[in-house]
Structure 1
Amino acid sequence: MPTPKATICKIKLLRPNAAVPEKTTDGAACYDLVLPDDILIPPYQALKVGLGFAIEVPKGYHAKIFLRSSTGKDTRLRLANGTGIVDSDYRGEVCLLVDNTSGYFARAFAGERIAQMMIEKNVPVTFVPTDELSETERNDGGFGSTGK
């Protein structure tokens, strides 16, 4: 089966210690994001962390930034905004807003991969105002209404 042609996403390294995002396995959906510098975050505080690069996401696409599962498992660091979004018209440094949810200083070191980035196609949507929505089995049930 032929390999699909890769979409080009230009990257500009802004510092010598910045790293190009990489996939670590062939089946990985996301590209790991590497810290260019050590960080130290006070207890219950958030820190804006520049990754040392800017990207040109192709028109019609966007990038989503998630915490790596190992970061969530091994630390009390979280992305303060849950999921980061990089729009195709943004040209500034890609940053993380990292939240320390512990009562202790949290440290991460240059070279560590604490987050990951996925490039996705935008889906054009037109919202159409209406007075009625179709019925479903679930309807307006939410927040655990379908069980555990």
Structure 2
Amino acid sequence: MKVEIKKLRETAIIPSRGSEYAAGYDLFANLDSPLVIPAQTTVKIGTGLSVAIPAGYFGGVFARSGLASKQGLRPSNCVGCVDSDYRGELIVALYNDSAENQTINPNDRIAQLVVIPFLTVEFEETEELGETVRGENGFGSTGI
């Protein structure tokens, strides 16, 4: 599948995969200088790119496992959603879960983009839903 991408800044880096079978494409910080993210704070970081996700798909913006586990940095909304009709800059709102300030340098990998298909549905209101064994048992009802 071909996905059109546009550099909004000459210094932007096109997303790339870390390995042949990686689902996510690394997104890079398009910064002019290092940026400090204070502890327990969110900072928006531009990638310098806009993308045309095909209809029927969305771009899921996920944390990079190393960045999250080693520095406590993750997308503030946990998983971002880039809709197929959005044409603005890809921006990652990084949240610092750690107790220390963290620094993002120009061209650091800050998140990963996964292009994912989805189904369009119509919700139909009803008075009753079909019965299941689980029923209304919620959080923790099927085990820890």
The alignment status of 1:24 with 2:24, answered yes or no, reads no
Q: Which runs of 4+ in 1 moved over 6 A?
A: none
In the alignment, the residues of structure 2 paired with residue 139 and residue 117 of structure 1 have an alpha-carbon distance, to the nearest angstrom, of 36
Larger displacement relative to structure 2 (78-87 or 108-117): 108-117
Deviations 1:22-63 (A, max 9, x none): 112121111111222232112221111111100011122211
The alignment status of 1:49 with 2:45, answered yes or no, reads yes
Cα distance, 1:104 vs. partner? 2.3
Larger displacement relative to structure 2 (83-92 or 133-142): 133-142
The alignment status of 1:90 with 2:60, answered yes or no, reads no
The total of aligned residue pairs comes to 142
- Tell me which residue corresponds to 1:8: 2
Q: Secondary structure at the match of 1:99?
A: strand
CA RMSD of aligned residues (A): 1.4
- Tell me which residue corresponds to 1:4: none
Cα distance, 1:110 vs. partner? 2.1
- Tell me which residue corresponds to 1:3: none
The alignment status of 1:35 with 2:32, answered yes or no, reads no
In the alignment, the residues of structure 2 paired with residue 67 and residue 33 of structure 1 have an alpha-carbon distance, to the nearest angstrom, of 10
Q: Which runs of 5+ in 2 are unaligned?
A: none
Q: Secondary structure at the match of 1:28?
A: coil
In the alignment, the residues of structure 2 paired with residue 74 and residue 141 of structure 1 have an alpha-carbon distance, to the nearest angstrom, of 36
Cα distance, 1:18 vs. partner? 1.1
Identity %: 38
Cα distance, 1:147 vs. partner? 1.3
Cα distance, 1:146 vs. partner? 1.4
- Tell me which residue corresponds to 2:72: 76
Cα distance, 1:142 vs. partner? 2.2
Q: What is the one-letter code of the residue matched to 1:31?
A: Y
The alignment status of 1:122 with 2:123, answered yes or no, reads no
- Tell me which residue corresponds to 2:128: 132
Cα distance, 1:111 vs. partner? 2.5
Q: What is the one-letter code of the residue matched to 1:94?
A: L
In the alignment, the residues of structure 2 paired with residue 10 and residue 147 of structure 1 have an alpha-carbon distance, to the nearest angstrom, of 44
